[in-house]
């Protein structure tokens, strides 16, 4: 199991299950449109596009120092003194991912890279309870102009399951089998983690929330795909995945079991 992406312990707890249920109710109600995003993200200033999503993800990657990790985190050790998410200027940025990426009323929206919702610094040992990789994806989609129809969530499984359910008008994510769909710019590629690491595409949608990680496709094609994800080595980090001549994911260590095709308004 890749050590880069911290575990989110709340997947297994009844408190998280209750919170997830409340979040689902919010998604189906008018509160889904209430958020903390700036007007340009909600006001139709520009179409929701692949170019926007890729540009936002790459902007954030550059802000975090342009880190690239293609060795599965070999030798990486968490230390509070060196963790990017706890550095000045960066713990605040993680807080912005939470605040702008989540819908209004989501308790996690008040978190930062080192603070809980009350502003208290949480210990490094509890980092897994505050994993922000899904908040990063939600932030990128929000700022790129996805609008109220995107299933913003504190956990990847919420929008993986959403994408795997039958299509309906206005739906912005469709789950594709990576064995026969080549990821495009702006799509999301995902792998299951922990106790769910053996999930397959055909297990979706799952009847429960499961630990997972997703990243945004920002480049590549036949032979190699470039992705950017949050909370990888406690930072926004770029990785490169193996692909075959048709651009299909192949020969990678992780179980990249689903590609979320994003239905952008324009390329």
Asked, for residue 30, whether it belongs to a domain, the answer is: yes
Asked, for residue 203, whether it belongs to a domain, the answer is: yes
- Give the model's pLDDT for residue 267: 82
Asked, for residue 17, whether it belongs to a domain, the answer is: yes
Give the separation between CA 11 and CA 154, rounded to whole angstroms.
11
135: nearest Cα among 97, 170, 104: 97
Q: Please give the model's pTM, rounded to 2 decimal places.
A: 0.86
- Give the model's pLDDT for residue 221: 85
Note the Cα 215 to chain centre separation in Å: 6
- The answer to whether residues 205 and 165 touch, using CB atoms and an 8 Å cutoff, is yes
Q: Whole domain around residue 88: which residue ranges? A: 9-262
Q: How many domains does the chain have?
A: 1
- The answer to whether residues 239 and 175 touch, using CB atoms and an 8 Å cutoff, is no
Q: What is the DSSP string of the chain?
A: --SSBPP-GGGGSHHHHHHHHHHHHHHTSGGGG-B---HHHHTTSS--BHHHHHHHHHHHHHHTT--B--STTTT----TTT-GGGSTTTHHHHHHHHHHHSBTT-GGGG--SSB-TTSPBPPGGGGGGG--HHHHHHHHHHHTT-GGGS---SSHHHHHHHHHSPP-TT--EEEE-TTT----TT-EEEEE-GGGTT--GGGPSPSS---EEEEEEEEEETTEEEEEEEEETTEEEEEEEEB-TTS-B-S-SS---EEEEE--SB-
Asked, for residue 1, whether it belongs to a domain, the answer is: no
- Give the model's pLDDT for residue 28: 39
Say yes or no to pLDDT of 29 above 90. Answer: no
Radius of gyration of the chain from its Cα atoms, rounded to whole angstroms: 17
Which pLDDT tens digit goes with each residue over 39-75? 999 988 999 999 999 999 999 999 999 999 997 544 4
Asked, for residue 246, whether it belongs to a domain, the answer is: yes
Asked, for residue 32, whether it belongs to a domain, the answer is: yes
Can you list the pairs that 116-122 forms with residues at least 24 positions away whose Cβ atoms lie under 8 Å?
none
How many CA atoms does the CB half-sphere of 85 hold within 13 Å?
Answer: 33
- The answer to whether residues 134 and 154 touch, using CB atoms and an 8 Å cutoff, is yes
Residues of the chain with pLDDT > 70, as a percent, come to 84
- Give the model's pLDDT for residue 80: 58
Least reliable range by pLDDT among 26-35, 80-89, 122-131, 165-174: 26-35
Asked, for residue 52, whether it belongs to a domain, the answer is: yes
Which residues lie below 8 Å from residue 228, measured CB to CB, with a gap of 6+? Answer: 57, 58, 60, 61, 215, 216, 218, 236, 237, 238, 239
- The answer to whether residues 53 and 141 touch, using CB atoms and an 8 Å cutoff, is yes
Which pLDDT tens digit goes with each residue over 98-123? 999 999 999 999 999 999 999 999 99
Which pLDDT tens digit goes with each residue over 166-211? 999 989 999 999 999 999 999 999 999 999 999 999 999 999 999 9
Asked, for residue 216, whether it belongs to a domain, the answer is: yes
Task: Report the mean per-residue pLDDT for the chain.
Answer: 87
């Amino acid at each position: 199991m890749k050590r880069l992406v911290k575990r989110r312990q709340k997947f297994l707890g009844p408190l998280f299950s209750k919170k997830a249920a409340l979040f689902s109710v919010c998604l189906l109600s008018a509160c889904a449109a209430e958020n903390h995003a700036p007007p340009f993200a909600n006001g139709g200033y520009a179409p929701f596009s692949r170019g926007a999503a890729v540009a936002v993800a790459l902007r954030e990657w550059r802000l975090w120092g342009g880190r690239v990790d293609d060795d599965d985190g070999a030798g990486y050790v968490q230390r509070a003194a060196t963790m990017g998410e706890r550095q000045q200027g960066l713990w605040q940025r993680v807080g912005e991912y939470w605040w702008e990426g989540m819908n209004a009323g989501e308790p996690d929206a008040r978190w930062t890279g080192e603070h809980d919702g009350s502003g208290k610094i949480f210990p490094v040992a509890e980092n897994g309870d505050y994993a922000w990789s899904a908040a990063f994806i939600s932030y990128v989609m929000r700022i790129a102009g996805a609008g109220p129809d995107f299933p913003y969530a504190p956990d990847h499984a919420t929008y993986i399951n959403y994408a795997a359910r039958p299509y309906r008008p206005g739906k912005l994510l469709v789950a594709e089998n990576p064995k026969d769909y080549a990821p495009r710019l702006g799509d999301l590629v995902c792998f299951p983690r922990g106790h769910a690491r053996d999930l397959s595409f055909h297990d979706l949608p799952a009847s429960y929330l499961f630990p997972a990680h997703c990243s945004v496709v920002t480049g590549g094609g036949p032979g190699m795909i470039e992705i950017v994800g949050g909370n990888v080595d406690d930072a926004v980090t770029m990785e490169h995945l193996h692909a075959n001549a048709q651009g299909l994911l192949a020969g990678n260590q992780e179980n990249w079991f689903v590609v979320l095709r994003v239905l952008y308004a324009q390329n």
